[in-house]
Structure 1
Amino acid sequence: MGAKRKKRSKGSDSDDDDERDPPPPKQQAGASASSDSNSTKQKSNKKEILPSTIKNKEKRSEIHAKIKRQKKLEKRKKLKERQVAEKRALELGEEPPEKKVPCTIENTREFDETVCKPDDEELFAGNDADEFSQILNQQMTPKILITTCRFNSTRGPAFISELLSVIPNAHYFKRGTYDLKKIVEYAKKKDFTSMIVVHTNRREPDALLIIGLPDGPTAHFKLSKLVLRKDIKNHGNPTGHKPELVLNNFTTRLGHRVGRLIQSLFPQEPEFKGRRVVTFHNQRDFIFFRHHRYIFETKEIKKTDTKGKKDEQATNEKVPDYKTIARLQECGPRFTMKLISLQHGTFDSKSGEYEWVHKAEMDTSRRRFFL
């Protein structure tokens, strides 16, 4: 009995030892798995080489082009998948998937209390009593005086001649040695409604001063990225018709006032036969100016009408279809403006009161806009 018990104890001990010791093949499998993971990490590290870390210029440009091509293919693939999903939803009578709105600086701008609302009664009441109400209500026709600073440049006269072709009923007067205040008084006596002063620096127009007459206000704009008509490829020549005026994204109280100042430069009866459009587009407090001519064309598109039951000859009838296409031709000039200050009354650099002045302290956030 004792021997049997000893054998059993030995057997039980051996069984316990077998259970305690892990099998050698499992250790080999774990080692192989760890080696596989290390190899995949090394491969991923090799794939994630940035082009900026490569010193060879040809190799760097080659890898950069390869990455760009892959991103373009992925973008096309996502677009095709989205189009297929929309088409399938329309066939099944379901709602198409929601379009993703990208987060931009403009749609994530900081909250501004001065943003105009459509039910703002104070704003509309103020429009009937401001300095531009007579022109915008067509009680007066705008008459513009354009002049320069004392030291004119080579591109200044070319820019002024193109402004004269853009703004109807605009007249150019040479500045000479006259003070700006005397010119303002002269313009008031001659019944001018607005005055534009083109300032130049280093042979390049760099600022615009728009003065509303007779009571102001005076807006000072920084001028940049000027492209004259002759430098625009395939440009068009404008006609003498009164243009249509388009103002975009002037949303705040300040932007609304600046937009009305710009609007008072143009007559409020556009001649649509001329097919001219003048656009002032505000984006992130930069006002982009464009001047276009447009035309509508009907283009014939041939479609094949395949019948359900094919004839013996299997002929397809060609049914013509017409599509209306709008074509644009830029007339120029092209430039960008940024508001520097808005002053009460006519130009007075010493004792004038300012409604708004741009300061460097205002540029602390990229998502803060004032127009």
Structure 2
Amino acid sequence: MIEVEAEEKMQPVGPTSDDYQGIMNKANKCLNRHKKRLDVAKAKKLKAKMKREERRRKQREADALGEDAPPKQIPNTLESLRELDRTTVTTTNAEDLETDEFSSYFEKSYVPKVLITSSANPNLKTRLFLKELERVIPNSTVFHRRQAKIKNIIIQATAHDFTDIVVINEDRKEPSSMLISHLPEGPTCFFRVSNVKLTKQLKRDWKEITNHRPEVLWSNFSTRLGVGIGRMFASLFHYEPQFTGRRIVTFHNQRDYIFFRHHRYEFKKDGSKAALRELGPRFTLKLKSVQKGTFESKTGEYQWIITNKRHKMESSRRRFHL
């Protein structure tokens, strides 16, 4: 009787590989596509549960023996398997960046002055998006474009000592693209905009956004093109943030998608920890082209461009440009 109880305790608890294989065999023999899809999903959940149980078993064995748990396996991702780019910026080849179009900004020779405008007759959400960008970017002004051409706006903006111009275009009543042109000599970058969430949609109060100059963080830009884009984003903001406002603006690159976030950090009462509170807006950028000089739709010289179709530059999923 005692031996039988010991054998029952030694039997594995939870799903086994036989259970998983049985569900997969059932799915392979099933001719109904809907039922087959459900069986495959069930098998995947079962396999994930088996992995969790295996990790817990190893942890219990290590605790019983007084040993350290086995190291956690890091899964391979597209980011970790990224192909090495020849233009990756290192400490040895970063000297050329000191003489680019934004070098005078990083030398603190001028204070940025940004003009923000949109396409003709923008929708309500686009107008609200412009207002929120004006609150985020210090020393910026929203200009209602009406029927004015971008070339004429750039000429007037340069004459009024604006250092950058941001143009928000829309499609189907949603902000769809962003054009940033550094004045007076460029460059001009064109981005696709997606996943726009305003402060109200994030259930935040716009009154929480103070007038303090924010701190700008741009991360995971590793190539020469990516570092140039990061420097362009930084040049839109004042080079001396006001830390008393506790505002942070983040441009984070992940697989060539640039995620914009606007936070305010708050300290605990004892001052030991800090928590982030998102203020909004929130959006995602995808670089489409980099043009030399200011905006020129017909005769502009492009330094970098990617098409909407399957391009040779997108032949590998593990190749990223930023």
Residue matched to 1:166? 136
Distance in 2, matches of 1:155 and 1:177, equals 19
Greater displacement, 51-60 / 204-213: 51-60
Identify if the C-alpha distance between structure 1 residues 243 and 43 changes in structure 2 by more than 3 Å, giving closer, same or farther. Answer: closer
TM-score scaled by structure 2?
A: 0.83
Distance in 1, matches of 2:213 and 2:172, equals 34
Answer with 1 or 2: which has the greater Rg.
1
Does the Cα contact within 8 Å between 1:153 and 1:202 map onto a contact in 2?
no
Identify if the C-alpha distance between structure 1 residues 277 and 85 changes in structure 2 by more than 3 Å, giving closer, same or farther. Answer: farther
Report how many aligned residue pairs link the two structures: 300
Distance in 1, matches of 2:180 and 2:29, equals 47
1:102 to 75, 78, 103: 75
Deviation, 1:342, is: 0.2
| 1:122-149, Cα deviation, whole Å (9 max, x unpaired) | x22x233221112222111110001111
Residue matched to 2:318? 367
Identify if the C-alpha distance between structure 1 residues 127 and 70 changes in structure 2 by more than 3 Å, giving closer, same or farther. Answer: closer
Q: How is 1:84-95 mapped onto 2 (pairs within 5 angstroms)?
A: 85=62, 88-89=66-67
1:148 to 118, 127, 152: 118
RMSD value, Cα: 3.1
Identify if the C-alpha distance between structure 1 residues 185 and 82 changes in structure 2 by more than 3 Å, giving closer, same or farther. Answer: farther
Distance in 1, matches of 2:295 and 2:60, equals 57
Distance in 1, matches of 2:19 and 2:176, equals 55
Deviation, 1:70, is: 6.6
Q: Does 1:181 align with 2:151?
A: yes
Deviation, 1:326, is: 2.5
Deviation, 1:98, is: 4.3
Identify if the C-alpha distance between structure 1 residues 80 and 238 changes in structure 2 by more than 3 Å, giving closer, same or farther. Answer: farther
Deviation, 1:55, is: 5.8
SS of the residue 2:76 aligns to: coil
2:287 to 308, 328, 339: 339
Q: Which amino acid aligns with 2:55?
A: K
How many percent of aligned residue pairs carry the same amino acid?
Answer: 40
Does the Cα contact within 8 Å between 2:23 and 2:39 map onto a contact in 1?
no
Segments of 5+ residues of structure 2 without an aligned counterpart are: 1-17
Residue matched to 2:224? 253
Distance in 2, matches of 1:45 and 1:191, equals 70
Distance in 2, matches of 1:191 and 1:208, equals 21
Distance in 2, matches of 1:231 and 1:52, equals 47
SS of the residue 2:200 aligns to: helix
Residue matched to 1:190? 160
Does the Cα contact within 8 Å between 2:195 and 2:282 map onto a contact in 1?
yes
| 1:189-242, Cα deviation, whole Å (9 max, x unpaired) | 111110000111221110000000011000000001111111114566211111
TM-score scaled by structure 1?
A: 0.72
Identify if the C-alpha distance between structure 1 residues 355 and 82 changes in structure 2 by more than 3 Å, giving closer, same or farther. Answer: farther
Q: Does 1:330 align with 2:263?
A: no
Residue matched to 2:268? 297
Identify if the C-alpha distance between structure 1 residues 293 and 44 changes in structure 2 by more than 3 Å, giving closer, same or farther. Answer: closer
Distance in 2, matches of 1:135 and 1:240, equals 21
Q: How is 1:1-371 mapped onto 2 (pairs within 5 angstroms)?
A: 46-48=22-24, 49-50=26-27, 53=30, 68=45, 71-72=48-49, 74-75=51-52, 77-78=54-55, 81-82=58-59, 85=62, 88-89=66-67, 97-120=70-93, 123-124=94-95, 126-234=96-204, 237-298=208-269, 324-359=272-307, 360-361=310-311, 362-371=313-322
Does the Cα contact within 8 Å between 1:150 and 1:175 map onto a contact in 2?
yes
| 1:148-195, Cα deviation, whole Å (9 max, x unpaired) | 112312211010011011111100111122211111011111111100
Identify if the C-alpha distance between structure 1 residues 265 and 70 changes in structure 2 by more than 3 Å, giving closer, same or farther. Answer: same
